[in-house]
Chains A and B, each alone.
Chain A
Amino acid sequence: MHMSGQTAFTGAAKTGPTLISLKDVVVDFATRDRVVRAVDGISLDMPEGGFTALVGPSGCGKSTVLNMVAGLLKPSAGSVTFEGRPVDGPNTRVGYMTQKDTLLPWRTVEDNVGIAFELRCRRSERGDKAARVAEMIERVGLKGFEKHFPSELSGGMRKRAALARMLIYKPSTLLLDEPFGALDAQLRLIMQKELLELVDASGMTVVLVTHDLEEAVSLADKVVVFTSRPGRIRAVRDIPIPRPRDPATLRFTDAFRDHCAALWDELRDEVAAAMATPHA
């Protein structure tokens, strides 16, 4: 169990043993008339307790990478390992917040958020279920909406409910696919701070997909820039800004601006390339 040891807080980018490893990963999707190469030879190691951000133009295979780590998709070539073992089926060690929220529309917010406790594998944690649900709903700012159905919430509220549903059972690894994309700027900063506090307190490993460079730099220890499709790794940059960080004030520091500028230099060409070729 990699959660057991107290993750000593060092203040610098954490470098535990490799938890997630992609080696020469290729993904081809067969569509009706042709084969699309979504990912073209990605190799990437992510350490236990690390916070990795994946950025790149849309359609470059970021979600595809998360799907492979979650075990929902097999690479066409290459290997994906988790804790040293190949991922060969749904990876229940990860909490996965997909790009499209997968809340169950017939359940209220609180019943969605608490659903993990209804599963047999988590029955033993049931004791303070109601309290934890209420606390988590408050944390993501949905107090007062406990009895609402997803159809009655805005896109950003649904995202926050999905985040609460995942965080509540404290998975040791989080896969987040554009979790804050639908939020307004202020709320996004608040949610980013909440996430950082939770992650720092529990030593979770995080893989975050985002199209927002500033979000990547304020949250991650390591930012990976993808090329436009077919996705390859264009650049990897460590972000040794000490923790705890406050995303709201971090953005006014020189270090932050330098990292963003350097990453933007890499990303700019890829975005232009993605715009020049029609993508799905």
Chain B
Amino acid sequence: MSEGARLWTGRAVLLAALLAIWQLGGTFVSERWISSPTAIVGRLADWLARDLFLHLGVTLAEIAAGLAIGVPLGILTGVTLGRLRNVSAVLRPFVVVMNSLPIVALAPLLIMWFGIGMLPKIVLVAFVSFLLLFFNTFAGARAVDEEQLDALTLMGASGVERFRKVVLPGCTAWIMAGLKNAVPYALIGAVIGEMMVSRAGLGHLVSRAGQQFDMTGIYAGLFVLMILGSVLNEAISLAERHLLRWRGPHGA
């Protein structure tokens, strides 16, 4: 057996063992509290036949819309302000303070402002991703290699060309770091918003199950969230590996 096959066999065995213990555990502790794998699978099948994709779609739409607004705005603001030496020096302490705010704590405020539909969640995701992209790109723009800029200047590059060919790509690593933070935060923001008040979405599914003491429903909802989070994170890692392939084996 190859190294990889052994590894995956080990993982499959571990997973099967955990599921078996969980399933058997239900006969000692009440299934009311810990539910069981078979019950969860049944519930997922039930949801699939009914409205799982509606809720998934709502959450995804909130994340996508929020990121579509927050990410480009954060990058542009960060890179622009970061390149303006004087402005960036004035802004730095504000950036540091904003950076230490747990942004999802803004959810109640946004719900009061924007109601209970998708809008407050979109605003929350946009805001979180804007700030994270802004912080990272701001730092990246300040760290751009001045000698690379000079080299292009001497070739006759205009300000716009220097920006597009050196500053923006020079910030890619920082932008990707921001995205890697922003995507999980976007999911957290959307779900927390939905759990507070909503009519649809994965967060809504989980909190509704909680209100009905429906353990199986909670676990099923968490399972879907876990899969969604993994897929999103994996997508970002793939994009990062592609975009930063020039970094070579030693990073930097």
What is A's interface to B at a CB cutoff of 8 Å?
70, 72, 90-92, 94-96, 98, 100, 102, 104-108, 115-116, 118-122, 149-152, 169
Known A90-B154, A94-B154, A169-B155: A118·B165 in contact at CB below 8 Å: yes
Is B161 in the interface zone, CB < 8 Å from A? yes
A70 touches B154 (CB 8 A): yes
B250 touches A92 (CB 8 A): no
Is B38 in the interface zone, CB < 8 Å from A? no
Is B6 in the interface zone, CB < 8 Å from A? no
Residues of B within 8 A of A107 (CB): 246
B148 touches A120 (CB 8 A): no
- Cα of A128 to Cα of B245 in the assembled complex, Å: 29
B156 touches A92 (CB 8 A): yes
> Closest Cβ of chain B: how far from A179's Cβ, in Å?
14
Residues of B within 8 A of A70 (CB): 150, 154
> Closest Cβ of chain B: how far from A197's Cβ, in Å?
23
- Cα of A98 to Cα of B147 in the assembled complex, Å: 9
Q: Which residue of A lies closest to B244 (CB)?
A: A106
- Cα of A49 to Cα of B150 in the assembled complex, Å: 25
> Closest Cβ of chain A: how far from B180's Cβ, in Å?
18
Known A70-B154, A116-B155: A102·B148 in contact at CB below 8 Å: yes
Is B99 in the interface zone, CB < 8 Å from A? no
Residues of A within 8 A of B245 (CB): 149
> Would you call the interface of chain A mostly helix, strand, loop, or mixed?
loop
Q: Which residue of A lies closest to B251 (CB)?
A: A151
Residues of A within 8 A of B50 (CB): none
> Closest Cβ of chain B: how far from A138's Cβ, in Å?
22
Q: Name A72's contact: one of B150, B165, B172 (CB within 8 Å).
A: B150
Q: How many residues on chain B are close to A (CB under 8 Å)?
A: 25
- Cα of A96 to Cα of B149 in the assembled complex, Å: 13
A149 touches B248 (CB 8 A): yes
What is B's interface to A at a CB cutoff of 8 Å?
145, 147-148, 150-158, 161, 165-166, 169-170, 172, 245-250, 252
Nearest 5 pairs between A and B by C-beta? A151-B248, A121-B156, A102-B151, A149-B246, A90-B153
- Cα of A108 to Cα of B245 in the assembled complex, Å: 11
A104 touches B247 (CB 8 A): no
Q: Name B150's contact: one of A90, A95, A105, A108 (CB within 8 Å).
A: A90
B169 touches A96 (CB 8 A): no
Residues of B within 8 A of A151 (CB): 246-250, 252
Q: Which residue of B lies closest to A99 (CB)?
A: B147
Residues of A within 8 A of B170 (CB): 106
A119 touches B147 (CB 8 A): no
Most chain A Cβ neighbours within 10 Å, of B166, B172, B248: B248
Q: Name A100's contact: one of B147, B158, B165, B169 (CB within 8 Å).
A: B147
Known A120-B161, A121-B156: A105·B246 in contact at CB below 8 Å: yes
Q: A118-B161, A169-B155 are in contact. List 8 more A-B contacts (CB 8 A).
A: A70-B154, A104-B148, A105-B246, A106-B169, A106-B246, A107-B246, A121-B157, A149-B248
B169 touches A95 (CB 8 A): no
B147 touches A102 (CB 8 A): yes
Residues of B within 8 A of A116 (CB): 155-156
- Cα of A100 to Cα of B148 in the assembled complex, Å: 10
Residues of A within 8 A of B147 (CB): 98, 100, 102
B148 touches A106 (CB 8 A): no
> Closest Cβ of chain A: how far from B69's Cβ, in Å?
27
Known A151-B248, A151-B250: A92·B169 in contact at CB below 8 Å: no
Q: Which residue of A lies closest to B158 (CB)?
A: A120
A92 touches B145 (CB 8 A): no
